[in-house]
Structure 1
Amino acid sequence: METYFDPQYFSTMGFGTIVLGFLVLFFVWRFLMNQRRNSNSPPAVPGQPLIGNLLQLKAKKPHQTFCKWAETYGPIYTIRTGASTVVVLNSIEVAKEALVTKYLSISTRKLSRALQLLTADKNMVAMSDYGEFHKMVKKYILASLLGANAQKRSRCHRDTMIENTTKCLHANVKEHPLLPVNLREIFKKELFRLALKQALGKDVESIYVEELGKQLSKWEMFDVLVVDPMMGAIEVDWRDFFPYLRWVPNKGIEMKIRRIVSRTSAVMKALIQEQKKRIASGEDIDCYTDFLLAEGKTLKDEQISWLVWEAIIETSDTTLITTEWAMYELAKSSKYQDRLYQEIQKICGSEKITEVHLPQIPFLNAIFQETLRLHSPVPILPMRYAHEDTELGGYHIPAGSEIAVNIYGCNMDKKVWNEPEEWKPERFLSAENLTADLFQTMAFGGGRRVCAGALQANSIACTAIARFIQDFEWKLKEGEEGDVDTVQLTTHKLHPMQAIITPRNSL
C-alpha cells in the first residue's frame, strides 16, 4: 500500500471561514521560504501560496508528474503539499543514498490518516517505523513465511496454485475456444487461496463472523480483506495536507475508512479464533498464524491479527499486478513470446517447468525485471520522514521533511535506461545487468527496509509466466494493445487483460 497525493478534496473546500488564519500562515510561509533560500536546499518546484503544488497534482498520477518535473529540476527537488515539504527523489543514485547510506536519518514512516487506520497505527511489517518492533516482526515473517527456508517448505502450495491456474485456463479454452480469457479473474482467486494456506494453514471456504452477524463465503472474505482495503488505502483526506485543520469535519472519508477497518478486523478476529480452536484441539499446521501464536509472546492479539492480514493482502495483490502486465507485454510480442518458449523447451523439454528451473532461464528473469521497471506495482515507495537534518544528493535536507522515492521516475531515467518508455527485456541480458538481483529496478525498495516478499514475488510471477507460455500461445484480443490505463493512483491495470489463448501440443 502507498501514500499518494489527491488534492481534489482541497479544490472544493470553502475558504471563507478560515481566511484570517490563512493570511497569518501565508506570512509565516513566506518567512520560512526566505530562510530556506539561504541554505543549500534542493530546487523547489514553484507552487501557490499555502497550498503549494497540490493543484498541480490533480491528475492522480503523481509518479508521472514527478518524472516530468525531474526533467526540469533534476533528480532531487522539493514540492509543497499544504503544510509539508516533500523531497522527491527520481534517480536510482539518490534513492539508494536515501534508503541505504542515510537510512537512520529517514527511517520513520509518514502515513496518511487512511493508512494510519488501515494499519492499526503501523502494526505491520511494511508500514512500521524502524525499531525493535519492526526488527522482531520482520524476523518472524522471514522465518515462517518469506525467507528462503520458509519458501522451500511452502513450495508445494505454490506448485498447486500454478497447476490449478493452468487447469482453469485449459478448461476455459475447451469450453469457449474462440472467446478471450480473463487471466486476472482466474489468477487472483488462486493467489488468494495460496495466501490463506500460507497464513492460516488451509484454504478457508467460509467463516462465521460474529461481529457482522453472518457467514461469509471465501469471495466475500476476499472483498473484505483485499479489495476494500486496497481501495481505502488510496483515499486521501485533504486534512492530511493541513494537520492544523484536523478539527474541520470530513465525515464521509473518515466513516468509509473506519467501516473498512471494522469489517477487516472482524473477519481477521474470526479467522484467528478458528485457528486457536484448532491448535487447542491438538492439530498443528506449519503456517504463519501458528508461528506467531507460538513465538510472538509479546504480541497482542490485535497485532497478530494485523500481521496475518498483511501476509494475506500482500500475497494477493502486487504479484498479480506484475504477472498480468508481463503477460500483456508478451501477448503483444510474438517475438519475445517465442524466444521465451524456446528457452523453456531447451531446459525442460516435455517436463513442466517449476521453480527449480528458474535460474537456468535468464530471459525469464529479464522479462520479470523489465516488467517491474516499466510497470512497478508500487510507483512511489511509502513515504519516509526525516527526523533529523541530513544530506541527499549534495543538498541539505532539514528535519521534518517528507521523503518520496519515485520508483517510476528512477526507472524512466534516460541517463540510465535507453528508451525507457519501451518494454525491452533484453536490456537485462547485458553484461552489467545479467544477474538475478531482485533490486536492480528498486521495485522492492532497498536497505534495511527492503521488501520481505521479494523472493516469493519472483518465484510466483516467474513460474506463472513461464508455465502460461509453456502451455499456451497468447494473443491480445483486438483493440487491447493500447489499453494501458491504470486504477487511479496505482499501476494496477484498469481493465483486465483479455487474450485469446491456444494450447500448445508439446505437453
Structure 2
Amino acid sequence: MAVATDPLGCMQKLVQMLQAPPYVAAAVLGGVLLLMFFIGDWRKRRRSPLPPVPAIPGIPVLGNLLQLKEKKPHKTFAQWSETYGPIYSIKAGASTVIVLNSSDLAKEAMVTRYSSISSRKLSKALTILTADKCMVAMSDYNDFHKLVKRYILANVLGANAQKRLRQRRDTMIDNISRELLLACVKDSSSESVNFRKIFESELFGLALKETFGRDMESLYVDGLGTTLLREDLFRTLVIDPMEGAIEVDWRDFFPYLRWIPNKGVEDRIRKMDFRRGVTMKSLVEEKKKRIAAGEDLNCYAEFLLSEAKSLTEEQISMLLWEIIIETSDTTLVVTEWAMYELAQNPKRQERLYQHIQSVCGSAKITEENLSQLPYLTAVFHETLRKYSPVSIVPLRYAHEDTQLGGYFIPAGSEVAVNIFACNMDKKQWESPEEWKPERFLDESYDPMDLYKTMAFGGGKRVCAGAPKAMLIACTTLGRLVQEFTWKLREGEEDKVDTFGLTARKLQPLHIVAKPRIN
C-alpha cells in the first residue's frame, strides 16, 4: 500500500536501495516495476464497473494459437461462440483479440463504438502488400482515407460513376453470354464448361478498362525485363497477392521478437510485392504515354495522374491496383457461388427464369429491371449470407477504453468481426446452413437494401463497392438464367471448400450448360 499512498517515500527508499550492490538494485528495481505494472492494471480494471470479456482457455505464452492451426479461423470462432457466447477474447501470442460473432455486436463495433475502434491492425504480409495502408479498404479513418474515398466514389464506385461506366458492364455481360454459348456449341451437350475461366477473364478486362482505359493481352514490364501475357498479368496482380495476404508470420503474434529474421515468409511476400509493384509501374508509364499522345480514355488512372497532386506515385499505384483486385475477385466469389447453388436447385433456377420472363419477356435483362426482380436480388443476398466474400473483417484495435456487449474493452485490444458467424447465427437465421433465397422475400426486407447481411460491413467503413457488385452479379445471373439452363458437372457437388483471403471456391466451377433458345 505504501507504493500506492506515499509515492515520495517510496522514491526515497528506492534511491537508498540503488546504492546497494548492482544485483540487489536490479532485483529491487525489477520488483518495483512489476508491482507498479500490476497496480496500474488493477487500477484500470477498477475504473470500469463493467465485467471483462469471457476468455477462451489457452496455454501460457502461445495463448490460443495452437487451436487456430488452419487458415480458416472464422469457422473455429463460430464453433466457440456456441459454447462461450457471441463475444469472447482469445490470446494470440502477446495480443488480446476480442471476437464478435453476432450482427448486433458487429453493428455496435462498426457504428456505435466506431470512434473508439476505427484503426486497422494489419499483419506483416498485409502491411507489405498494402504499402502500409495505402488503400481505401485498408487505410485508417483519417484525412488520407477521406480524400481517396472521395476519389474512388467520384470516378469508379459512386452512383454517377456507375452511370458513366454502364456501357463497359453491358459489354462485359454480352461477352460472357457469347463465350458461354460458344463453349456450348464447340463441345458436346455432355461436356462441362469452366465458368470461372470465362467470368474471371471478363472481370479482369473490366477492371483494366476502368483503371487504365483498355484491356490488354500482354505488357512489357521493364522491372522484370520480360513481357507478361494476360494470364501472367492476372496472376501477378490478383492471384499471388490474394494468396500472399493470408501468409502467417509468427512475429505478428510476438511484436517484441520482430528483430528475429523470418526470411522465408517475408521474402515470398516481398517478391510478390516487387512483381506487383513493377508491373503496376509499367501500366502507369504506358498510360502516361497515351495521355501525352492525346488519347482520352476516361479512366481512373487519367484522373489520379492529372488531379491527385498531393499523392505520391506509390499511393497512386496502390489506389489503381485496389480497383483491379477488388473488381477481379470479390464479385467473382458471390457470382460463382450463386451459379453453383442454382445448378444444385433446378426448381429455383426455373422459378428465377419465370420470374425474369414475367418482367422482361423476350427482352434482355438490364440493370433498370433489378428493382422489379425481388427474387433475383434475394438470390444475390442469400449467396452473400452463406458465402460472404470476406469471412472476417480486417482486424481493428481499440485506441481507447470502450465497451462492447456490456463488457469492458481496454485500449490496445484487437477486435475481429466474424462476418461468417454473423451470417450463420441460428438465433437470427432459420436453418442458416441451407441456401434459401425465399427468406429475403419477407416484407420486412427492402429488395434493394444492400445491407441485409453483414457481408458489406457497416457504418463509415461500409464497402464502397457494394452497389457495383450487386449490379454486375445480379445482371450477369439474370442474363445467364434467361439464355441457359445448367447443372453441375458430375462430382462437382462435393467441391464446396474455399481458399484464400476471400471465400473463393477452392475448385473452379464447372457446369454443363444448355442454351434455352437455339
Partner of 2:283: 271
Question: CA offset at residue 488 of structure 1?
Answer: 5.3
Partners of 1:169 and 1:372 lie apart in 2 by 24
Partner of 1:341: 353
Question: What letter is aligned with 2:66?
Answer: L
Partner of 2:258: 246
User: Which of 191, 210, 222 is 2:203 aligned to?
Assistant: 191
Partners of 1:65 and 1:326 lie apart in 2 by 25
Partner of 1:435: 447
C-alpha distance after superposition, 1:3-35 (max 9, x if no partner): xxxxxxxxxxxxxxxxxxxxx9xx99x969995
Partners of 2:136 and 2:278 lie apart in 1 by 21
Partner of 2:398: 386
Partners of 1:293 and 1:61 lie apart in 2 by 39
8 Å CA contact 1:182, 1:498 repeated in 2: yes
Partners of 1:379 and 1:479 lie apart in 2 by 26
Q: Secondary structure at the match of 1:123?
A: coil
Q: Are 1:416 and 2:428 counterparts?
A: yes
Partner of 2:17: none
Question: What letter is aligned with 1:80?
Answer: K
Question: CA offset at residue 435 of structure 1?
Answer: 3.0
Partners of 2:423 and 2:45 lie apart in 1 by 30
Partners of 1:57 and 1:37 lie apart in 2 by 29
User: Which of 413, 431, 445 is 1:401 aligned to?
Assistant: 413
User: Which of 278, 295, 299 is 2:307 aligned to?
Assistant: 295
C-alpha distance after superposition, 1:159-191 (max 9, x if no partner): 111111111100111011221111001100000
Partner of 1:203: 215
8 Å CA contact 2:242, 2:501 repeated in 1: no
Q: Are 1:140 and 2:151 counterparts?
A: yes
Partner of 1:234: 246
- Higher Cα radius of gyration: 2
8 Å CA contact 2:218, 2:229 repeated in 1: yes
8 Å CA contact 1:111, 1:383 repeated in 2: yes
User: Which of 204, 212, 234 is 2:224 aligned to?
Assistant: 212
Q: Are 1:71 and 2:79 counterparts?
A: no
Question: What letter is aligned with 1:96?
Answer: K
Q: Secondary structure at the match of 1:451?
A: coil
Partner of 1:460: 472
The 1:157–1:490 alpha-carbon spacing in structure 2 relative to 1, beyond 3 Å, is closer
Q: Are 1:496 and 2:508 counterparts?
A: yes
More displaced, 119-128 or 470-479?
470-479
Question: What letter is aligned with 2:498?
Answer: T
Partners of 2:38 and 2:494 lie apart in 1 by 48
User: Which of 128, 132, 136 is 1:121 aligned to?
Assistant: 132
User: Which of 270, 274, 284 is 1:258 aligned to?
Assistant: 270
Q: Are 1:109 and 2:120 counterparts?
A: yes
Question: What letter is aligned with 2:95?
Answer: S
Partners of 1:369 and 1:182 lie apart in 2 by 24
Q: Secondary structure at the match of 1:159?
A: helix
Partners of 2:39 and 2:491 lie apart in 1 by 52
Partners of 1:34 and 1:97 lie apart in 2 by 26
The 1:488–1:306 alpha-carbon spacing in structure 2 relative to 1, beyond 3 Å, is closer
Partner of 1:98: 109
Q: Secondary structure at the match of 2:131?
A: coil
Output the TM-score relative to the length of structure 2.
Answer: 0.90
Partner of 1:50: 61
Q: Secondary structure at the match of 2:57?
A: coil
8 Å CA contact 2:71, 2:246 repeated in 1: no
8 Å CA contact 1:474, 1:502 repeated in 2: yes
Question: CA offset at residue 434 of structure 1?
Answer: 3.7
Partners of 1:290 and 1:101 lie apart in 2 by 38
Partner of 2:171: 160
8 Å CA contact 1:200, 1:289 repeated in 2: yes
Partner of 1:10: none
8 Å CA contact 1:366, 1:426 repeated in 2: yes
C-alpha RMSD of the superposition: 1.8
Partners of 2:240 and 2:513 lie apart in 1 by 31
- After superposition, where does 1:2-21 map in structure 2 within 5 Å? none
Partner of 1:449: 461
Question: CA offset at residue 478 of structure 1?
Answer: 1.9
Question: What letter is aligned with 1:212?
Answer: L
8 Å CA contact 2:130, 2:138 repeated in 1: yes
Partners of 1:396 and 1:327 lie apart in 2 by 44
Q: Are 1:131 and 2:142 counterparts?
A: yes
Partners of 1:499 and 1:407 lie apart in 2 by 29
Q: Secondary structure at the match of 2:352?
A: helix
Partners of 1:488 and 1:362 lie apart in 2 by 31
- After superposition, where does 1:462-477 map in structure 2 within 5 Å? 462-477=474-489
Partners of 1:448 and 1:174 lie apart in 2 by 48
Question: CA offset at residue 489 of structure 1?
Answer: 5.8
Q: Secondary structure at the match of 1:380?
A: coil
Output the TM-score relative to the length of structure 1.
Answer: 0.92
Question: CA offset at residue 294 of structure 1?
Answer: 2.0
Partners of 2:312 and 2:61 lie apart in 1 by 42
8 Å CA contact 1:427, 1:433 repeated in 2: no
The number of residue pairs the alignment matches comes to 480
Question: CA offset at residue 499 of structure 1?
Answer: 1.4
Any unmatched runs of 5+ in structure 2? Answer: 1-30
C-alpha distance after superposition, 1:99-156 (max 9, x if no partner): 0111111111000000000000110000011000000000000000000100011011
Partners of 1:34 and 1:73 lie apart in 2 by 25
Question: What letter is aligned with 2:163?
Answer: K
C-alpha distance after superposition, 1:302-328 (max 9, x if no partner): 110110001111100010010000000
Question: CA offset at residue 280 of structure 1?
Answer: 1.5
Partners of 1:256 and 1:61 lie apart in 2 by 21
Question: What letter is aligned with 2:382?
Answer: E
Partner of 2:344: 332
Deviating above 2 A after TM superposition, structure 1's stretches of 4 or more consecutive aligned residues are 30-39
Partners of 1:163 and 1:31 lie apart in 2 by 66
Q: Secondary structure at the match of 2:486?
A: strand
Partner of 2:437: 425
Q: Secondary structure at the match of 1:203?
A: coil
Partner of 1:6: none
Partner of 1:370: 382
Any unmatched runs of 5+ in structure 1? Answer: 1-23
- Taking every aligned residue pair, what percent have the same amino acid on both sides? 61
